[in-house]
Amino acid sequence: MSLEETLLGPLLDLGGIGILAGFLMWIHIQNTKRLDAMQDKHDQLLADWRNERIDTIESLIDKTTALDSRFDSMHEKLDGVLDRISIGLKEMREHYQEARIEKLTEEAKKSKD
């Protein structure tokens, strides 16, 4: 004997009020099933959304880390370039200073002669 048969007999014995009570119980059970299905779907959507956000955040962290690494690498290269420019400028200054001294020395010799 199933649950429906067990409940259906006594409800029919009560007449119209029993049929109404049975109908209301059936409606309640159907609504409960529908709400449970909606809640499960909602929970799944939230879990999917949360996982997508986590994936997005992890992707952004990876990209930021890669950019930081590239920035650090470029910073080191630029420091090297600036060092080479400074050394080059120092050598040029020394060269032109020596050339100027040499020129002034030659002019001084010419004016003595």
Q: CB 21: neighbour CB atoms within 10 A?
A: 14
Supply 89's token pair: 């400028």
The count of structural domains within the chain is 1
Residue 52 in contact with residue 44, Cβ under 8 Å? no
Query: What are the per-10-residue average pLDDT scores of the chain (113 residues)?
Result: 69 78 87 97 97 96 94 92 93 92 86 74
Which residues constitute the domain of residue 14? Answer: 3-112
What pLDDT is attached to residue 87? 93
Predicted TM-score (pTM) of the model is: 0.50
